[in-house]
């Protein structure tokens, strides 16, 4: 009897176990494949629409190392719950046939049109071995990069319009997409409510142009732990990067970047992360710190982007004979009130001596002999173009230089100095003191430098390289 009871108990346990497993299996596969796909689509659609003012998309058409396909483009996307999407951008590459005078033939050349474009189309989250965001109707702003009509090869700029959703956290703090064809990773970050798309894109573009200007005579540095790299030709966002002191052509690599704005902060993010075993953190994103005038990685401050030192650059270029000047039309914001008043008085007094006087520029250049510099007034009269040079002893300092007036270079210049009070005040008084050399606005663009009197910071002016 005991054996029967034991046998019955074991059979009951096995039966209950089998029934339990079967119920769990029924729960797992209770939903149909179509229902599971619909649920996934609804989940990721909800996360895309969770940001009411949309997302800033850091879009990279391809992994090429050359523009325009290899550059990054900032696209703003607002995903609406009716499955329309507003896509906006500001920088658009285009091909144009240009006649080459050397080869005597036409060739395709890329240009960029900084024009705000926005368009509305449709979107959908489909499933194809995972959730895929599809811009499933033509959008002028996004499909610009994949339209085959934009290049004779029939591939446009090589971009994607369908993206695998790689990562989409529940809090909708960011989203990572991967181009379905090209495989490029494209980060989405939220755009704050109330931010106007066109204003946002222009602010970002203006910031990039100010810090990585096309006319800047010098690049900047990437500090990578104890290694330093030159970063040049960054205006288009596709910089050449190579170890400092090495040959650029032989050692350069390319890593495009984009600028975005979050709150009041500007961020620079490279397409590809930098890697180094002895440095922790993700070395890819950097925040611009205005007080320090540099970009610093939040994960590791040993990874940063820094400008050249303005004073060092000034003397490096000045020492090899480059000239800095103050041109005829001086913008109001490139001269302090004290300098403006004194300069206007000098020009007025010159006009009183010669009514046909027309100012051209004021040059600062090396003088004859070591430790000598010259301020040179260049101007015109009815008869000719003329100049008067004033000679100074110059002593370089860690943050600037000291000038001491020595003499007028010619008898003509000496006559002007003795006859024109306004000129004499500038030459022998205001220009004969210690000055600091600073960047004008930012040291990332040293095409202009600010010359500021150490004893009187309210006396300053800007010289152009």
For residue 236 the two structure tokens come to: 């288009």
Q: What pLDDT is recorded for position 33?
A: 63
Q: What pLDDT is recorded for position 264?
A: 93
- Among 456, 406, 401, which Cα is nearest to 434's? 401
Q: How far apart are CA 211 and CA 220, in angstroms?
A: 10
Which DSSP category does 440 fall into?
B
Q: What pLDDT is recorded for position 388?
A: 93
Q: What pLDDT is recorded for position 6?
A: 31
88 close to 198: Cβ distance less than 8 angstroms: yes
For residue 7 the two structure tokens come to: 């046998």
- CA 386 to chain centroid, in Å, comes to 42
Cα end-to-end span (Å), the chain? 107
User: Could you tell me which CATH number the domain at 38-200 has?
Assistant: 2.40.128
Q: What pLDDT is recorded for position 266?
A: 98
Q: What pLDDT is recorded for position 107?
A: 84
For residue 393 the two structure tokens come to: 């002893």
Q: Residues 312, 210, 208, 256: is their CA dihedral positive or negative?
A: negative
Q: How far apart are CA 223 and CA 292, in angstroms?
A: 14
pLDDT in tens, the chain (465 residues): 333 333 333 333 333 343 444 444 444 446 666 677 778 889 999 999 999 999 999 999 999 988 899 999 999 999 999 999 999 999 989 888 888 888 888 888 888 888 999 999 999 999 887 899 999 999 999 999 998 877 666 667 889 999 999 999 999 999 999 999 999 999 999 999 999 999 999 999 999 999 998 877 889 999 999 999 999 999 889 999 999 999 999 999 999 999 999 999 999 999 999 998 888 888 999 999 999 999 999 999 999 999 999 999 998 888 777 889 998 888 889 999 999 999 999 999 999 988 999 999 999 999 988 899 999 999 998 888 999 999 999 999 999 999 999 999 999 999 999 999 999 999 999 999 999 999 998 999 999 999 999 999 999 999 998
Which DSSP category does 1 fall into?
-
* pTM of the model as a whole: 0.83
Q: What pLDDT is recorded for position 383?
A: 80
For the chain, count helices (H), then strands (E). Answer: 8, 26
CA angle 181, 184, 185 (to 5 degrees): 130
Q: What pLDDT is recorded for position 151?
A: 63
123 close to 134: Cβ distance less than 8 angstroms: yes
Q: What pLDDT is recorded for position 384?
A: 87
Q: How far apart are CA 452 and CA 462, in angstroms?
A: 9
Q: What pLDDT is recorded for position 5?
A: 33
The residue whose two tokens read 């074991």 is: 10
Q: What pLDDT is recorded for position 276?
A: 87
Q: Name 411's Cβ contacts closer than 8 Å, sequence gap at least 6.
A: none
């Amino acid at each position: 009897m005991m054996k029967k009871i034991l046998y019955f108990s074991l059979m009951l346990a096995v039966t209950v176990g089998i029934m339990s497993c079967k119920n769990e299996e029924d729960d797992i596969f209770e939903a149909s494949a179509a229902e599971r796909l619909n649920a996934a689509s609804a989940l990721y659609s909800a996360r895309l629409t969770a940001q009411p003012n949309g997302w800033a998309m850091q879009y990279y058409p391809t992994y090429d190392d050359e523009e325009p396909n290899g550059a990054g483009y900032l696209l703003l996307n607002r995903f609406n719950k009716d499955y329309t999407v507003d896509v906006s951008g500001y920088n658009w590459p285009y091909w144009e046939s240009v006649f080459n005078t050397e080869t005597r033939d036409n060739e395709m050349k890329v240009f960029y049109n900084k024009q705000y474009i926005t368009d509305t189309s449709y979107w959908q989250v489909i499933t194809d071995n995972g959730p895929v965001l599809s811009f499933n109707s033509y959008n002028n702003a996004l499909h610009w990069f994949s339209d085959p009509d934009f290049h004779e090869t029939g591939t446009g700029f090589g971009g994607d319009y369908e993206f695998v959703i790689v990562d989409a956290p529940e809090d909708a703090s960011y989203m990572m997409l991967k181009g379905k064809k090209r495989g490029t990773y494209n980060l989405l970050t939220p755009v704050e409510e109330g931010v106007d798309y066109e204003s946002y894109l222009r602010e970002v573009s203006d910031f990039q142009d100010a810090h990585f200007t096309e006319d800047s005579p010098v690049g900047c540095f990437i500090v990578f732990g104890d290694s330093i790299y030159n970063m040049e030709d960054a205006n288009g966002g596709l910089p050449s990067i190579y170890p400092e002191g090495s040959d650029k052509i032989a050692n350069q690599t390319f890593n495009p970047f984009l600028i975005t704005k979050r709150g009041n902060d500007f961020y620079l993010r490279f397409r590809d992360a930098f890697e180094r075993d002895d440095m922790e953190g993700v070395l890819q994103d950097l925040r611009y710190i205005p007080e320090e005038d540099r970009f610093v990685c939040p994960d590791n401050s040993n990874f940063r982007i820094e400008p050249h030192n303005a004073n060092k650059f000034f003397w490096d270029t000045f020492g090899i004979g480059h000239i800095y000047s103050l041109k005829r039309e001086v913008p109001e914001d490139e001269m302090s009130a004290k300098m403006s008043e004194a300069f206007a008085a000098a020009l007025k007094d010159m006009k009183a001596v010669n009514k046909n006087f027309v100012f051209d520029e004021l040059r600062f250049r090396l003088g004859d002999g070591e430790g000598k510099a010259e301020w040179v007034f260049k101007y015109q009269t009815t008869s000719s173009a003329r100049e008067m040079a004033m000679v100074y002893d110059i002593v370089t300092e860690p943050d600037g230089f000291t000038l001491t007036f020595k003499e007028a270079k010619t008898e003509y210049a000496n006559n002007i100095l003795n006859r024109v009070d306004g000129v004499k005040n500038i030459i022998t008084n205001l220009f004969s003191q210690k000055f600091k050399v600073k960047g004008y606005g930012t040291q990332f663009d040293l095409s202009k430098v600010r010359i500021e009197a150490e004893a009187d910071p309210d006396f300053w002016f800007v010289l152009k390289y």
